[in-house]
Amino acid sequence: MACFYELEDRLIIHPDECIDCSACESECPVEAIYADSDIPRQYQSDIEFNTVEAKHIKEAAYQAAVVQKRQPLATATQRKDELGY
């Protein structure tokens, strides 16, 4: 099931659509996806943002879920360093 939705500067995961298969963890170009039980403390606040935004996008129905792998943004490596991933 497709559970990723795209914002201007990031992808978010719809928590009700994710089946916790972990396949995305190794595919993430900036290694920013964690299993629920492994989310580092400094990123705990992102859980609520992710949940609210994913549900908003889904309910607004103005954007479909991402269903194809895409190239990382040109700024992915820089962003990874900034976030400490």
Query: pLDDT tens across 27-47, in order?
Result: 887 778 888 888 888 888 888
Q: For position 35, which CATH number holds?
A: 3.30.70.20
pTM of the complete model: 0.67
Q: Is 5 exposed, middle or buried (0-12, 13-18, 19+ CB in 10 A)?
A: buried
pLDDT of residue 62: 66
Q: For each successive 10 residues of the chain (85 residues), what is the average pLDDT?
A: 79 85 82 84 87 85 72 77 77
Q: Collapsing DSSP states into helix, strand and coil, what is residue 81?
A: helix
Q: How many domains does the chain have?
A: 1
Range of the domain at 22: 4-83
